[in-house]
Amino acid sequence: MAKKKKIRIELKKNRQKRTRANDLTRAFGDEKPAAAESVAGERVRPKGEMSRHRTIVADAGEGPGAGPGVAAEGASGRRAVDESSWLSGRVVRVHGLVNIVEAEDGRTYPCHVRRLLKSMAIDGRNVVAVGDRVWFRPPDSGGDEGFIERVEARKGVVTRGYRGRRHVIAANVDSVFIVSALAEPGLKISLVDRYLAAAEFSGVRPVVVLNKADLVDVSLYQWVVGLYTQLGYETVVTSAADGRGLDRLRSLLRKGVTAISGQSGVGKSSLLNALQPGLNLRVNEVSDWTSKGKHTTTTAELIRLDGGGYVVDTPGLRQFELWGVLPGELEGCFIEFRPFVPLCRFPDCSHTHEGRCAVKDAVYWGWIHAGRYESYLKLYHQKPEDGG
């Protein structure tokens, strides 16, 4: 039996309203300094319902910083596992407050997240995401829903920043298809670069998918294919209408778990319907008024493919912002920068304004694509990219 230990976890600040003091001016004339009174009335850790810490029992060796991805999630609720009454599974869909969990035997259970997990102080929007490995307590004989009791550490994560918080799009994925349309809406190189930087930072293998090839003259976009291929990224030109590139996508999807992400209207659901007939995922047209995609897929879902592997169909994003990447770390997310960074004059060179910068010289001589460098500058100065 695994050893257990007690750990302290931090919770969100309680939103309970405190009673306003009605004697603010009563002691105005006292000789006792007001500062002394305030210090005497302070508490480092509030008591009772206002407490922002709890003690939980966890497996030995685990704590608030145990395992990859756990430190960023405040221990992710890594309580000691009760194997006698809990089941292990994977979250296949998150719909509002209800999470659909697939157990190891293939059965699915609707589950709520235990209140302790929802109250934990984390930097993310939600403590549970599609693809998470969890331990859950199945519904009892008189109930319809179970409870997620523990979230395992994540490995490959597709994430973005949203309104100042971390938004995990999919967890425990091996690769991500970055889908962009060549038309309706048009191709946005800077948005693709932003996705690639996020994938490099997270350690997820990216694949660039240029969709809707039937609507354009593909020869005009060969430079895009060449740009990303020369950087070492798998690049596939596809069309759900005429079947172009689908065989290549099928072979790539057989390898583990793949997240499909991109802006609204680029045809992610149409591609999945073409790859596996019978899915019948909802599709929609691009708005004639704004030339932007309409939100059709509203929630992420983990789908088992008949040909092998899993795919996470994610909602279209209107805005994509990097999360957790410091400006000084951004250079490592652009793989073509790496040979030149050690040659810069200053060890802390930002590659934005300094003289004798090897990266800027490489851009000047054409060894680094100017558009990729512009994408780097936008990210460095934290300018969000509108996905349309």
pLDDT digits (tens, 9 = 90+) for 222-232: 999 999 999 99
Give the pTM.
0.74
Of 320, 337, 357, the last residue of a domain is 320
Q: Which of 119-123, 156-160, 191-195 has the lowest mean pLDDT?
A: 119-123
Q: Are 169 and 144 part of one and the same domain? A: no
Q: Are 336 and 194 part of one and the same domain? A: no
Q: Are 276 and 174 part of one and the same domain? A: yes
Residue predicted with more confidence, 82 or 103: 103
Residue 39 within any structural domain of the chain: no
CATH of the domain at 262: 3.40.50.300
CA 8 – CA 275 distance, rounded (Å): 47
Q: Are 77 and 222 part of one and the same domain? A: no
Mean pLDDT rounded to a whole number for the chain:
78
Q: Are 316 and 339 part of one and the same domain? A: no
Please count the structural domains in the chain.
3
Residue 261 within any structural domain of the chain: yes
CATH of the domain at 382: 1.10.40.50
At 124-170, the pLDDT tens digits run: 567 888 999 999 988 887 677 888 888 888 888 888 877 777 788 88
DSSP-derived 3-state class of residue 299: coil
159 sits in the region (left: phi over 0; alpha: psi -120 to 50; else beta) called beta
Lookup: tokens for 249? 């996508």
Q: Are 226 and 314 part of one and the same domain? A: yes
CATH of the domain at 131: 2.40.50.140
Q: Are 137 and 175 part of one and the same domain? A: no
Q: Where are the beta strands (DSSP E) in the chain?
A: 4-10, 53-59, 87-95, 98-103, 108-113, 133-137, 146-151, 157-162, 165-171, 175-181, 205-211, 234-237, 257-261, 301-304, 310-313, 319-320, 385-386
- Diameter over CA atoms, the chain: 87
Residue 108 within any structural domain of the chain: yes
Range of the domain at 194: 157-320
Contact 198, 330 (CB under 8 A): no
Of 304, 320, 336, the last residue of a domain is 320
CA 299 – CA 49 distance, rounded (Å): 34
Q: What sections of the chain are H helices per DSSP? A: 34-40, 115-119, 189-202, 222-230, 246-253, 268-275, 358-364, 370-380
Residue 119 has a CB neighbour count (10 Å cut-off) of 19
Q: Are 176 and 304 part of one and the same domain? A: yes
Q: Are 186 and 335 part of one and the same domain? A: no
Tell me how many degrees the CA angle 335-340-343 measures, rounded to the nearest 5.
150
Residue 15 within any structural domain of the chain: no
